[in-house]
Amino acid sequence: MEDIEEFEYEPRSVKELFIEMKNIVELMVDLAYSSILFGDKEIAEEVLDLEERMDLLNYQMMVHAVLAARNVKEAEKVTSILQMANAIEDISNAAGDLAKMVLEGLEPHPVIKEAILESEEIIAKITVTPNSILAGKTLGELKLASNTGVWIIAVRRGKRWIFAPDKDFRIKPLDVLIGRGTHTSIEHLKEIARGVIRVVGHERA
């Protein structure tokens, strides 16, 4: 409960909160599957950290809800906000449970990894070679999501992890990108990262 004691009420709009919760919960599910696929405990830990962040956001959402009710009628309407906050928290807990499978060493059956690899959207590690056009560019410049259809959910740099990189994030040679996309788009990005394809959108090597 430490988080909650430290929490100061900051009037953020409900919409901002909702969007952040949506983004985090989606990231959590992606990372949770990645942690299982790669058997990676650090990714799993990150999922649990995000779960804590979600608890805080959820708490803020509930404060909004309580402040919004001034009478019985409004209180009834407010239950819908609580229902939503609860549901989002449940998804985040579910992602946390997936991550815990990795942390607790429950050896996944091989079909689980196969299933993750054969889903419509897969998760893959993509290593950026020094002569790739990606090296030295920011995600904003590359617009990877719209140009290749791959979302970068995390990056491994040496021993460090960077989660949910933003558009100002600059890719360096030998970065390992964790991307989510369809098989074709992942293959396409791998070729770019290897330096075989030299064009991304308007960016040319």
Partner 1 sequence: MKELEEIKDILIEMKNLSSLMIDLAFSSVMYNSEDIADEVYILEDKVDDLTLKVKKLALNAAKYEENPDKLLSIIEMATINEQISDSAYEIADLVLRDVEPHPIIRKIMHDVEEEIGRVKVNEGSILIGQTLKQLKLPTKIGVKILAIKRGTRYIYNPSKDEEIKEGDILIAVGSGIDRLRELSNEVEEEGEMFEEEEEE
The least distance separating partner 1 from the CB of residue 93, rounded to whole angstroms, comes to 8
- CA dihedral for 163, 168, 171, 172, sign (positive or negative): negative
Binding site for partner 1 (CB under 8 A): 13-15, 18, 22, 25-26, 29, 33, 64-65, 68, 74, 76-81, 83-84, 86-88, 90-91, 93-95, 97-98, 101, 106-109, 111-112, 114-116, 118-121, 149, 182, 184-185
Give SS3 for 149.
coil
The least distance separating partner 1 from the CB of residue 119, rounded to whole angstroms, comes to 5
Cα–Cα distance for residue pair 171/10, rounded to 1 Å: 34
The least distance separating partner 1 from the CB of residue 196, rounded to whole angstroms, comes to 20
The least distance separating partner 1 from the CB of residue 129, rounded to whole angstroms, comes to 25
Residue closer to partner 1, measured from CB, 149 or 195: 149
Planar angle of CA 112, 116, 121, nearest 5 degrees: 165
Helix axes 41-68, 72-103, angle to 10 degrees: 170
